[in-house]
Amino acid sequence: MDILFLLVPFSVLLALGVVGLLAWAVWSGQFEDIESEGQRIFQDSDDKSDRQD
């Protein structure tokens, strides 16, 4: 029963940390354009630095 005095505050801090990281990601624009990243792999790249000989 004494372990609950340690685990409950730890889990609350962990949950607040996860919510804080999610809020930071949303406010910093990490999820602004999620469609073009999925389409980028289908585009032909003419950049020769990507190719290895």
Q: The whole model's pTM is what?
A: 0.60
Q: Report the alpha-carbon distance of residue 25 to residue 30 in Å, rounded.
A: 5
Q: What is the CA radius of gyration of the chain?
A: 21
Q: Report the alpha-carbon distance of residue 32 to residue 20 in Å, rounded.
A: 18
Looking at residue 30, what is its pLDDT? 85
Looking at residue 38, what is its pLDDT? 76
Digit-coded pLDDT (tens) for 1-53:
899 999 999 999 999 999 999 999 999 988 887 777 778 778 877 665 555 55
